[in-house]
Amino acid sequence: MTNYVPFRIEDEAQKTVFDLTLTDVPLPEERTHVFTDTSDADMPRIEIYRVGAEWLFLVSPTRDAAISLRLIVSPDFHDARLHILSDTRFGIDNACMILYAFSTALLHTLTMHASVIVRNERGYLFLGKSGTGKSTHARMWLKAFDDAWLLNDDNPILRLLDNGEVRVYGSPWSGKTPCYIHKDAPVAAITQLAQAPQNNIRTLKLPQAYAYMLASVSGLKIEPAMMDALYDTISHVIQSVPVRYMECLPDTDAAHVCAETVL
């Protein structure tokens, strides 16, 4: 689990966001199905149940694969028990991502599905559905600009600070690209990407920006308190940071067009 090493701290007095215990978790016979989150065939499937006051998550690596982990979580998402049925790395990573996203939602924190480039000490987020070309567009920035570097390629953390500043952080999770960097930067711009036969970019109005941001944030949308907090954080973020929509080709010209608009 070398992806966690850069983020390790020795301060034992630091308050934990969540506690995760690896143990045997039998499948509860009495459980109520709440929601099943499925997307593309090659993306994980998450089944969500209630077991009394607790939550039960059953996760498989792809939509049609067998369940790989069982995760039972306390109502406040602070304490969890994990039973890995197969693939230890997948089990720990996905359990930690779920717990982190849900337990920090009330702390003005967003776990994003995005790729992030840092240039001139400022962060630039690229949003879009899987396969849209977020990683490709980030690589075009790296190719076009010598001073650009990749902070995270799939799951960065966005946080609204008490002073109103929006910052983006690296995380131990970065999709298929091993990029585990314990650094952060103020957010300069957020861009929603779409494949197109030309490079074109425009600024989104707040309702459009809100919709794209919400689609890119991890959250349990059936939990009212969590979603109220995420809605509030997103609202403040899009009023502080410009959100743009870019139709683009997979070339360096797209990086230049984007940079000229957002820098």
Same domain for 245 and 121, yes or no, is: yes
User: For residue 141, is it within any domain?
Assistant: yes
How many domains, the chain? 2
Report, as an integer, the average pLDDT of 131-154.
95
Half-sphere exposure (CA, 13 Å, Cβ side) for 237? 31
Q: Is the pLDDT of residue 139 over 90?
A: yes
Least confidently predicted of 6-10, 106-110, 163-167, 229-233? 6-10
Report, as an integer, the average pLDDT of 160-185.
96
Question: Measured at the alpha carbon of residue 227, what is the angle toward residues 82 and 61, in degrees to the nearest 5?
Answer: 35
Last residue of a domain, one of 38, 73, 103: 103
CB 119 within 8 A of CB 126: no
Same domain for 135 and 93, yes or no, is: no
Minimal CA–CA distance to 16: which of 109, 79, 91? 79
Same domain for 185 and 253, yes or no, is: yes
Last residue of a domain, one of 56, 74, 103: 103
Convert the pLDDT of each residue in 48-85 to its tens digit: 999 999 999 999 998 889 999 999 999 999 999 999 99
Report, as an integer, the average pLDDT of 14-21.
91
Last residue of a domain, one of 79, 103, 127: 103
Same domain for 165 and 255, yes or no, is: yes
Report, as an integer, the average pLDDT of 186-202.
96
Both tokens of residue 10? 């020795």
Name which residue leads in pLDDT, 143 or 14. Answer: 143
User: For residue 138, is it within any domain?
Assistant: yes
Please spell the DSSP secondary structure of 82-129, one letter per residue.
EEESS-HHHHHHHHHHHHHHHHSGGGTEEEB-EEEEEETTEEEEEE-S
**Bridge partners, residue 70, by sequence:** 58, 83
Same domain for 80 and 165, yes or no, is: no
Question: Can you give the residue range of the structural domain that contains 127?
Answer: 109-262
For residue 9, the model assigns a pLDDT of 87
Report, as an integer, the average pLDDT of 17-25.
94
Same domain for 222 and 117, yes or no, is: yes
User: For residue 146, is it within any domain?
Assistant: yes
Mention every residue, 6+ apart, whose C-beta is less than 8 A from residue 72: 25, 28, 51, 54, 55, 56, 57, 80, 81
Q: Is the pLDDT of residue 91 over 70?
A: yes
pLDDT averaged over the chain? 94
For residue 203, the model assigns a pLDDT of 95
Q: Is the pLDDT of residue 40 over 90?
A: no
Instruction: Identify the CATH number of the domain in which residue 147 sits.
Output: 3.40.50
How is the chain split among helix, strand and coil, in percent rounded to 5? Answer: 30, 35, 40
Strands (E), 139-181: 149-152, 157-160, 166-169
How far apart are the C-alpha atoms of 120 and 148, rounded to whole Å?
8
Minimal CA–CA distance to 252: which of 119, 150, 141, 127? 141
**pLDDT category of residue 235 using cuts at 50, 70 and 90:** very high
User: For residue 75, is it within any domain?
Assistant: yes
User: For residue 225, is it within any domain?
Assistant: yes
Residue 150 region by backbone torsions, left for phi larger than 0, else alpha for psi between -120 and 50, else beta: beta
User: For residue 3, is it within any domain?
Assistant: no
Same domain for 66 and 155, yes or no, is: no
Report, as an integer, the average pLDDT of 147-174.
97
Q: Is the pLDDT of residue 46 over 70?
A: yes
Convert the pLDDT of each residue in 237-253 to its tens digit: 999 999 999 999 999 99
Same domain for 74 and 199, yes or no, is: no
User: For residue 175, is it within any domain?
Assistant: yes
Same domain for 149 and 172, yes or no, is: yes
Same domain for 161 and 35, yes or no, is: no
For residue 41, the model assigns a pLDDT of 67
User: For residue 6, is it within any domain?
Assistant: no
CB 170 within 8 A of CB 243: no
